[in-house]
Structure 1
């Protein structure tokens, strides 16, 4: 039922603003309940709500907030009862809050695997408010995104558009239904209509870009994505970067970026994006040049941090530290969140084998923002120092904080459990790592977990698959070296370390200190590798 908590707490933000306004004109108990819940004091809020409902059991607003309280307490049945009462008692004239209540009930049903009852909820809402644009759009979204009934979705969107003819978002939605049916040209008609009214409309630009690229018209698709990048749209930026995994498309993007940079030399986001593309391609010298150009246009902490990371990737640690300190200072002077820059500083120190100093930086980062990824890295630094109990706490925290924990975190926690003598817990983590890593090319999460589970033959089969699919991936080759070192096969382990180095692996301190490579200590060829750095 953890999912239920998440969904309904999200629902709180759908209704709380309305309650804040109404609380100013309503009862003492209700007013104080809203205030307590705003301050995340759920117990006090519940106490006030119970008093309010004791004297006014038909207060639909109190019932809607009580739904959120019950969700926080993981009481799904009580949440359903509360939201049903909210729908029953919220005044018919307050359609805005009613629609939000119907949306909360639909999300709650989805969270408890009762999705077959969602459509009747929306049908009831539409029947009750047949001219309400929001409820029509909500049902249309459900047809479009969940049921994939595009004709019914389009019908509801058209009804909503007839009630609100200037709604550009709904025009986009209609276009989406056609694109979802592979009717790209028809969908593009709607995106073009939207963009003729608002040339920078983010959803229309993004969806038209996707449609162009689907139709292999990358020149126009990339043009739309670069327009989105200029507006600092993160979805457009991410899609653009993902497309540049293809070398021919990368060349188109770089050409268009250079053209735009010449036409608009003061736009910082263009060279910044170019830096990200080069960095993803592993060309750190060109990435560094682009990021420095972006920094010269606008001296911000994020760009300084990226410059630091480019130096770090090539083991230019002094320059990396200089730039990350600059990022930290800019953030400090601007009262910005410093967690990213502190964790980058930790990474730079970790890669040099300065684990105690890295731990201090990761700890400072976690004090600013309790992030799962930073817990993982601090856990790795503790492992390198041999502090397994501290490392376990961090790996455990990384899993707890993640909505979808990475398979490798389960692998590392499993290994730590094994070292702490927790055999059953370790096996559970290894199996979870394998399950999380089950799609695509097998990684260390699969074959090293299988080794620890005692199924080395299967593990070797997955190592072979990994090497077939990821023969140019330096980190994958390093993981294979670890696997063979755990098998005490020094020849194969060292061979794959050599291959990893050929492909660019250069974290020499990690190669020296990683616990899974300790069987290679004293082995001549391995020691030679460490001296080459």
Structure 2
């Protein structure tokens, strides 16, 4: 039974959501929001006992919006995440996380019979199993999510990366389009330089596929590929880009650009591919062309800064990262600057940059991990551990965090605990080189020589040169 304070909080949240629905949405959303708040209020441990009521109200609308395509312009009513958060004066990253908690708590998904709008339930498509590809295909051959992904694509092209990622994250694992969402998210993360997260998501995506599924089916749903479609050519380029076939990726990007020369997103990826091949002069020329077309896209300036960083021209790298921040202060500009200062061993400056990144996005796990690395270099083990613990709270399965936590424990001679973390890394990616190297060291310290040698053998299979480098490092 709820106490009086909790009842008052529930009434206030209902009052807030009702006000928003009356002004921005419709009667059906109002009824659904009341139903959702009341269901939360019946939980044994009522979640909104704690926390700001405006955040809970925002999250209730947000969660309903995510499963009812509120953020898709092709649906009515339509509102954006910013519309919700600006109305309640709340922070989008906080609200997004809280909405995720609500959906998980109540097992809410698309076409949810309890919390979906009537129009959405009526439009629920019927599927049949396509035996050749293994996919569930709508009987009408029309994918109701196409317009949703079109909007993600448009946001990406405009440089509104955060909003694009947010829309992809709104797609639940039980949605037939979840794999497609992971596929696109991996490329967007790669485009803005978060390669570890990109690879982790892409590996997860691949693990979900049946061996007989052709990846091209995800890029093009028609039976025939269209070499005159710039979008399809771009997506083929992205796929080759992600698997490290940069020359092939550039060929696809060039074919796409030949058909439509002023696609900034294609130019952006081409510059990234050229940079991976260490063709920095060409990469800069391409990214400059993209910036000329869309000078207000801060992600393009971030990439230009990264290319200069790779060229070891630090002054210019920082210059363009600062310019990106002038257009829109963003966590990645600060994080990349922090990385530069970290590499220069300017640890205090690096910490300030990572702090700014976290201030903008408290869920940006890489900044916590990088702060931990800085503190370890400064022998401030207390703060290093604190940062790693914060990172673990955000994502306990983040492979970089797991490996760094193992490294921290290894530095404390806590070999068994370190091995546990390396094993978690290797469950995610059994070829994660850093985890194999340090697990081998930890095992050797415990006289687990057989296990240590297994790690070394695996490293030799991946790349024999690694063993030569390790031998030179320890015996040279």
Aligned to 1:103: 33
**Separation of aligned partners in 2, 1:457 and 1:293:** 52
Residue 404 (structure 1) aligned with residue 404 (structure 2): no
Alpha-carbon distance in structure 1 between the residues aligned to 2:102 and 2:25: 21
* Distance in structure 2 (CA, Å) of the matches to 1:503 and 1:226: 49
Counterpart in 2 of 1:366?
325
**Residue of 205, 211, 217 corresponding to 2:134:** 217
Are the aligned partners of 1:308 and 1:319 in contact in 2 as well (CA < 8 Å)?
yes
* Among 270, 276, 280, the residue aligned to 2:232: 270
Whether 1:114 aligns to 2:78 is no
Counterpart CA distance in 2 for 1:88 and 1:254 is 40
Q: Aligned in 2, Cα 1:220/1:281: closer, same or farther, shift over 3 Å?
A: farther
**Partner-residue secondary structure (3-state), 1:400:** helix
Does the 8 Å CA contact 1:355/1:385 hold for their aligned counterparts? Answer: no
1:253 to 217, 221, 226: 217
Alpha-carbon separation, structure 2, partners of 1:435 and 1:88: 33
Instruction: Mark the CA change 1:309 to 1:479 in structure 2 (over 3 Å): closer, same or farther.
Output: farther
RMSD between aligned alpha carbons?
5.6
Structure 2 residue 228 is the aligned partner of structure 1 residue 311: no
Tell me by how many angstroms 1:114 deviates: 2.7
CA 1:401/1:143 → structure 2, altered by over 3 Å: closer, same or farther? closer
- Choose 270-279 or 416-425, whichever is displaced more: 416-425
Q: Provide the secondary structure at the position in 1 that maps to 2:385.
A: helix
More helix as a share of residues: 1
- Match 1:238 to one of 181, 204, 226: 181
Q: Provide closer, same or farther for how the CA distance between residues 171 and 88 of structure 1 changes in structure 2, counting only shifts above 3 A.
A: closer
> Residue 48 of structure 1 corresponds to which residue in structure 2?
none
Quick one: structure 1 residues 257 and 454, their matched pair in 2 at CA, closer, same or farther if it must change by over 3 Å? same
In structure 1, what is the equivalent of residue 310 of structure 2? 351
Q: Give the structure-2-normalised TM-score.
A: 0.58
CA distance in structure 1 between the aligned counterparts of 2:428 and 2:108, rounded to whole angstroms: 37
* SS at structure 2 position matched to 1:232: helix
> Contact (CA 8 Å) 2:253, 2:270: kept in 1 or not?
yes
Cα distance in 1 for partners of 2:219, 2:28 equals 51
Contact 1:257/1:270 (<8 A) preserved: no
Q: For 2:329, what is the secondary structure of its paired residue?
A: coil
Structure 1 match to 2:372: 414
2:347 is aligned with 1:430: no
Deviations 1:278-309 (A, max 9, x none): 11222212211111111222222111011001
Question: Which residue of structure 1 aligns with residue 290 of structure 2?
Answer: 327
Quote the offset at 1:429 in angstroms.
Answer: 1.3
**CA displacement at 1:220 relative to structure 2:** 4.2
3-state SS of paired residue (1:249): coil
**Alignment CA distance shift 1:454-1:97 (3 Å):** farther
Q: Are 2:250 and 1:279 aligned?
A: no
Taking the TM superposition and a 5 Å limit, the aligned residue runs for 1:143-162 are 147-148=106-107, 154=113, 161=118
Distance 2:345 2:360 in 1: 24
Give the Cα separation in 1 of the matches to 2:394 and 2:317: 29
Rounded to whole Å, the distance in 1 between the matches of 2:462 and 2:113 is 55
Spell out, residue by residue over 1:235-259, the C-alpha distance to the aligned partner (whole angstroms, 9 max, x if none).
Answer: 5653555655656434442895796
Q: 1:438 to 1:240 in 2, by over 3 A?
A: closer
SS of 2:278's equivalent in the other structure is coil
The answer to whether the aligner puts 1:477 opposite 2:440 as a matched pair is: no
Check conservation: 1:359, 1:382, Cα contact below 8 A: no
State the match for 1:191 in structure 2.
125
CA distance in 2, matches of 1:455, 1:274: 46
Kindly state the Cα deviation for residue 382 of structure 1 after the two structures are TM-superposed. 0.9
Asked whether the equivalents of residues 87 and 98 of structure 1 are also in contact (C-alpha less than 8 Å), the reply is no
What TM-score does the superposition give when structure 1 sets the normalisation length?
0.52
Instruction: String of CA shifts for 1:146-171, please: whole Å, max 9, x gaps.
Output: 54599x964786xx74xxxxx3x231
How do 1:60-71 residues align onto structure 2 when only pairs under 5 Å count? none
The residue that corresponds to 1:439 in the other structure is: 397
Q: Does 1:295 align with 2:257?
A: yes
Q: Distance in 2 between the 1:409 and 1:463 partners?
A: 21
Instruction: Write the distance in 1 (CA, Å) between the matches of 2:102 and 2:418.
Output: 44
- How many residue pairs are counted as aligned between the two chains? 363
2:121 counterpart of 1:170: yes
SS of residue in 2 equivalent to 1:191 = coil
Shift in Å, 1:448: 1.9
1:459 to 418, 432, 440: 418
Within 2, Cα distance between the matches of 1:323 and 1:276? 17
Deviations 1:331-356, CA, capped at 9 Å, x for gaps: 13xxxx32111111122122233333
Q: Post-superposition shift, 1:269? A: 1.3
For 1:375 and 1:80, how far apart are their aligned partners in 2? 39
Query: Separation in 2 of the partners of 1:328 and 1:148?
Result: 43
Q: Which of structures 1 and 2 has the bigger CA Rg?
A: 1
Contact 1:448 1:483 in 2 (8 A): no
**Structure 1 unpaired stretches of 5+:** 1-75, 123-132, 135-141, 162-166, 173-189, 193-207, 506-519
Cα distance between partner residues in 1 of 2:16 and 2:395: 43
Q: Following the alignment from structure 2 to structure 1, what is the Cα–Cα distance between the partners of residues 32 and 221?
A: 45
Contact 2:331–2:357 (Cα < 8 Å) also in 1: yes
Where does structure 2 lack aligned partners over 5 or more consecutive residues?
1-5, 50-55, 62-75, 78-100, 153-167, 169-176, 185-201, 446-452
